[in-house]
A and B are shown apart, each in its own frame.
Chain A
Amino acid sequence: MSYRDLREFLEVLEKENQLIRVKDEVMPEPDLSAIGRSAPDMENGPAVIVEKVKGYKNSVALNVHGSWQNHALMLGLPKDTPVKDQFFELDKKWSDYPIKPVWVENAPVKEVKITTDINLFDVLPLFRVNKYDGGFYISKALIVSKDPEDPDNFEKQNAGTYRIQVKGKDLVGIQPLPFHDIAVHLRKAEERNEPLPIAICLGNDPVLNFMSSTPIEYVQSEYDFAGALKGEPIELTKSEQGNLDIPARSEVILEGYIMPRERRIEGPFGEFPGSYSGARLQPEVKIHTITHRINPIFENLYLGMPWTEIDYLMALNTSLPLFRQLKRDFPEVVAVNAMYTHGIGVIISTKSRFGGYGKSVAMRLLSTPHGMPYSKIVIVVDEFVDPFNLEQVMWALTTRVRPDKDVVLIPNAPGMPLDPSSEPAGMHTKLIIDATTPVAPDKARDTELLDVPDKVDYWMNYLRNTMRKEGDK
């Protein structure tokens, strides 16, 4: 890859015309939030560097992952690579797991070390992400913790993304949802009434943030996957305390520990389904050490009404594990698009082995670890339909669905509490739509698909070249 960390990736984005620098001084509110909302709504979804924020020392990076162009560049692909091709490239790189990290001395993230008079506001230009958030949030952190029962096990160490609310100069709240790996670590620490050391890593190689929001297995290392995606090892170093493995080239590391058996109010916070999630009692983290690079960049993300940066970040890394789990039992499956609202909506493309096959594929999806609680609406299309192309999917819905036979409801099934339609919260009715062409013994009216005319390839090239020549004049 042509970058090793956030700074080098920002250079790639700038060269590719995917980065805007705001040189005018802006207010923390409402400007940073408004910039984070605007950038992904632009046609090419550029990243934005805000160089000067009123009252703060350091710059802010927003929307680093917030477009398909930036996503392609993260994977080392040309920026106009179609989504489906990015999906297959990711699937290929995934097979290289694990590529083990290397540990380095003199890590850039240790250039500056703060252990007394800690004030997060001195280092980070903190701001309110959405208007009725309970405070200033760090929404794009990679958080490292170890299994207290097996602290030397590298694979059981976790690097995940959890929302962080700033509650003091050296105090933050964290949201470890019970089904996420850090909650396993916390439970074991709290059973012993011990603090859980964590490192909150900010401003990372974009591949690291991509992996930290990917639902991999408990005994798998996000760092080993990040190495596979890059085709080269990630550089790690040791934290000052707690013996954690942290990225050597992050911009800022906040080291601290979760205080055991304590909960205080956190939230509300605007979340990815486009609505606020309520206030709850959640753990708090005492920060004892900050290390950072000289002139650190604070990378954060805006999230809200889809699509925002987080939707791009969680799009293919939600789709890929589901695809691999389905493919194991149903080799006819071609691709899985689970990028709508973190997999609450899923479109599967598959060849049908026999009549009714599409429904079976959908039911398998609904019994995978992620699909069981999250996926509410599952659409199955033929193998020649691109599930990432909604125009083609609408074609399948309009020409292949017989509502009396192909639409199925499964009431009172597991749901996802952040889905505001789940009622009671955490339960919902599943909807399966089989939009595949019937195969035997199922019956359909005889239809023949239209072919493309001969010489289409020739004329597509001809027209493209002609347009390019006109553009050069």
Chain B
Amino acid sequence: MICPRCDSKNVDLLTKAPVDDAWEVYICETCCFSWRSTESDDIKDPEKYDKRFKIDSSKISSLDKIPPIPELIKKKD
């Protein structure tokens, strides 16, 4: 299986439906995108996922950090 948003192969089964085996939810470990097996093709299919919302996995690490990580306080002895 491939992530519909960033095309990563690093995809896991997140959970199955608590009742009736109604669906499964998958998650991409690269871009954190998650989707349900019963959603429409333009959510699940990498070819049909809207290009405006596709994510280039090589650019994830350069996204803004909110909030910024502060300096560590040095412990006094």
- Output the least CB separation between B48 and chain A (Å): 12
Q: Are A280 and B63 in contact (CB under 8 A)?
A: yes
Pick the most buried of B22, B23, B27, B69: most chain A CB atoms within 10 A of its CB.
B69
In the complex, the chain B residue whose C-beta lies closest to that of A261 is B69
* A residues 73-92 in Cβ contact with B at 8 Å: none
Question: Is B20 an interface position by the 8 A CB rule?
Answer: yes
Size class of the contact patch on chain A: 35 or more
Cβ–Cβ < 8 Å partners of A128 in chain B: 36, 39, 43
A409-B19 Cα distance, complex, nearest whole Å: 58
Our pick among B27, B61, B66 for the contact of A167 (Cβ within 8 Å) is B27
State in angstroms the CA–CA spacing of A193 and B71 once bound together.
10
**Residue of B17, B27, B63, B72 touching A281 (CB-CB under 8 A):** B63
Cβ–Cβ contact A134 & B39, under 8 A: no
Interface stretch, picked from A51-59, A240-248, A301-309, A344-352, is: A51-59
Please give the distance in Å from B56's CB to the nearest CB on chain A: 11
User: A190 at interface (Cβ–Cβ under 8 A)?
Assistant: yes
A237 at the interface (CB under 8 A from B): no
Q: In this assembly, does B15 line the interface, its C-beta being within 8 Å of a C-beta of chain A?
A: yes
CB proximity to B under 8 Å, residues A242-283: 261, 263-266, 268, 276, 279-282
- Does residue B76 face the partner (Cβ distance < 8 Å to A)? no
Contact with B along A147-181 (1 / 0, CB 8 A): 00000000000000000011111000101111000
Residue from A55, A165, A268 whose CB has the most chain B CB atoms within 10 Å: A55
B31 close to chain A: CB less than 8 A: yes
Please tell me if the beta carbons of A119 and B60 are within 8 angstroms of each other in the complex: no
What 0/1 readout, one digit per residue, does chain B (37-69) give for beta carbons within 8 Å of chain A?
011100100000010110100001101111111
Instruction: Select one of B36, B50, B65 contacting A280, CB under 8 A.
Output: B65
Can you name 30 A-B pairs with beta carbons within 8 Å? A28-B38, A29-B43, A54-B17, A55-B20, A55-B22, A56-B17, A56-B19, A119-B18, A128-B36, A131-B43, A132-B53, A134-B31, A134-B32, A135-B33, A167-B32, A167-B34, A169-B14, A177-B66, A178-B66, A187-B70, A191-B72, A192-B72, A263-B69, A265-B60, A265-B63, A268-B53, A276-B53, A279-B31, A281-B65, A282-B65
